[in-house]
């Protein structure tokens, strides 16, 4: 009998360990795709690589920008994005530049695993989830400073840092993803007006679509910050929408806007809120209005109950 070759004698008898399929998708500069889920990109290079096949095929791309902690309102945006475009990208990035030092950046809800599952169920094609150092690397020195609706004296009066942070990050998201369409909820109405005007002014080539606010059965606008509400505060929270509806009806009937706003703010205060503003504004420019003849009207409110600040709005 012939002897076994020397190489065969040295062959290991240990079992071969198979590399899990998930780990095979992790590589530098390449998006990772969870099993049966969207591609997940965490660097600009990985994002561009993930979207390149869609562009090569001439497929349209919609972007839904979010800060995560997704709810039915976000999923409604995704559903509309799928109707608008062949491919859908959702960004998840809690943007530090739109939070003041005293605000809730550190405690803002973060639930990436749950968000990814929801987006997988919704049929999203890609998730853009950069870290702050990726979005704002060392030496980052450029800011977008919007005017117009960003200086309307609503959110900007109480959060003067906010729209500069929003405008800068949205501009970056648009140049990173290069979508054909971007979808935003109307709950953040002043933000929607700022982003719409900025996109037009800077010729960013993105169609901005605002989708109607999704609400709970009792009228409360869906928000990731609703998770902060105590049971007592949650019971009082629908007051905002109820007052908006009643105020809009009174204005349609011809009652003086100033009186309606004053009485509405008082009702919100009696429900336990500290009111920042309840105002009637031009629906496009957000300039103050005194009568129905001043143009299409939007009612906007911001108020704090307990530790939670809520915003809402409604057209007249």
> Domain ranges in the chain?
23-211, 224-315
pLDDT over threshold 70, residue 304: yes
Determine which of 102-111, 147-156, 199-208 has the lowest per-residue pLDDT on average: 102-111
The per-residue pLDDT for range 255-290, each reduced to its tens digit, is 999 999 999 999 999 999 999 999 999 999 999 999
Would you list the DSSP string of 11-79?
---SPPPPPPHHHHT-BTTB-B--TTS-EEE-SHHHHHHHHHHHHHTT--EEEEEE-S---HHHHHHHH
23-211 CATH, one of 3.40.50.150, 1.10.600.10, 3.40.50.620, 3.40.50.720? 3.40.50.620
If one compares 264 and 102, the residue with the highest pLDDT of the two is 264
User: 3-state DSSP call for residue 310?
Assistant: strand
pLDDT over threshold 60, residue 134: yes
pLDDT over threshold 70, residue 296: yes
Averaged pLDDT, 194-216: 98
Q: Taking the model in full, what pTM does it have? A: 0.86
DSSP at 125: S
Contact 15, 91 (CB under 8 A): no
In the block, tokens 């939070």 appear at 99
CA-nearest of 279, 283, 296 to 193 is: 283
The CATH number of the structural domain formed by 224-315 is 3.30.1300.10
Give the residue numbers marked as catalytic: 74
Task: Give dist(CA 129, CA 116) in Å, integer.
Answer: 10
- Averaged pLDDT of the chain: 90
Strand duo 126-128 + 39-41: pairing: parallel
């Amino acid at each position: 009998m012939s002897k076994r070759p020397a190489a065969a004698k040295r062959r290991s008898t240990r079992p071969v360990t198979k590399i899990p399929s998930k780990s095979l998708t992790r590589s530098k500069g390449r998006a990772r795709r969870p099993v049966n889920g969207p591609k997940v990109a965490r660097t600009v290079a990985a994002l561009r690589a993930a979207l390149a096949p869609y562009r090569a095929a001439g497929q349209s791309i919609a972007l839904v920008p979010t800060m995560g902690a997704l709810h039915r309102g976000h999923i409604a945006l995704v559903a509309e994005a799928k109707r608008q475009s062949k491919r859908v990208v959702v960004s998840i990035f809690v943007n530090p530049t739109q939070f003041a030092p005293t605000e809730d950046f550190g405690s803002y809800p973060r639930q990436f695993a749950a968000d990814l599952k929801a987006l997988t169920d919704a049929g999203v094609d890609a998730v853009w989830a950069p870290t702050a150092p990726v979005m704002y690397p060392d030496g980052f020195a450029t800011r977008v400073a919007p005017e117009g609706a960003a200086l309307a004296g609503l959110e900007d009066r109480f959060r003067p840092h906010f729209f500069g942070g929003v405008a800068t990050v949205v501009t970056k998201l648009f140049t990173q993803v290069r979508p054909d369409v971007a979808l935003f909820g109307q709950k953040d109405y002043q933000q929607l007006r700022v982003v719409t005007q900025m996109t037009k002014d800077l010729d960013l080539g993105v169609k901005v679509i605002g989708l109607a606010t999704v609400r709970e059965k009792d009228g409360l606008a869906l928000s990731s910050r609703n998770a902060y509400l105590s049971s007592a505060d949650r019971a009082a929270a629908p007051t905002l929408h109820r007052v908006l509806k009643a105020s809009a009806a009174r204005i349609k009937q011809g009652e003086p806007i100033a009186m309606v706003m004053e009485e509405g703010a008082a009702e919100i205060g009696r429900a336990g809120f500290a009111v920042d503003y309840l105002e009637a504004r031009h629906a496009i420019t957000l300039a103050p209005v005194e009568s129905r003849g001043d143009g299409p009207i939007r009612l906007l409110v911001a108020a704090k109950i307990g530790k939670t600040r809520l915003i809402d709005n409604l057209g007249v």
